[in-house]
Structure 1
């Protein structure tokens, strides 16, 4: 690991609109796959009637495990948002929304900052430089308890 990291040279770009569109596509694809798997499950459930004895028990056990896994992945028909794919899509959508709001807040902050620094000074200008505060007793970083 490098000893020195230059954070001034790093950047992070998140496209809120693209992220939101990806979340919507993920939901659509998850729904599509869930519908196909549901159809497969219905077909498999109908096949269990023709099995007997230990084979039928094994098929029921496998179908139960399969159904539980698919419910965990896609949710149920009544509560689809309980599935992990829908949770991931909702999280992606939330990241897009929060990032968009953050960008707007930062832009607004700079607009306000610019407005404040363009205001005329409220005091009289002074040619005297600011007082030096480098003594230990009067540091810029100090806590008074």
Structure 2
């Protein structure tokens, strides 16, 4: 078990060295409503916000996180919500800073890869088919629920 964990951590570190970041795919530990979760590690070493997504298939989130990283500038710390175009054809994505307590709770591996830099995690939200985000009036409730689990899952 420890050997597998060390091998996995070595692969993550190799991805960070080669690509500037790695994407971690996992599930929440909620027994009642497990949620898919993908997040980057290593971007904080360059002074850039690390990113996360939840609620969709890992493969899709993994690709979208990599595409989003390509559009961010080195040193781009996202402190306020903003929209970013060119991630998905015809739609913006919403970049929303995650409160530090929630960031630490859902992406604990970030702490070990931040190398002493401030933890700055940003959630990437996808719009529903009408282009509305989870906090927008009229957003498809399915899209809103699957992306808003940080607000719905109580501390355990």
Larger strand percent: 2
Instruction: Identify whether the pair has TM-score above 0.5, normalized to the shorter chain.
Output: no
TM-score (norm 1): 0.21
Which has the larger Rg?
1
Larger helix percent: 1
For CA contacts below 8 A with separation 6 or more, give which structure has more relative contact order.
1
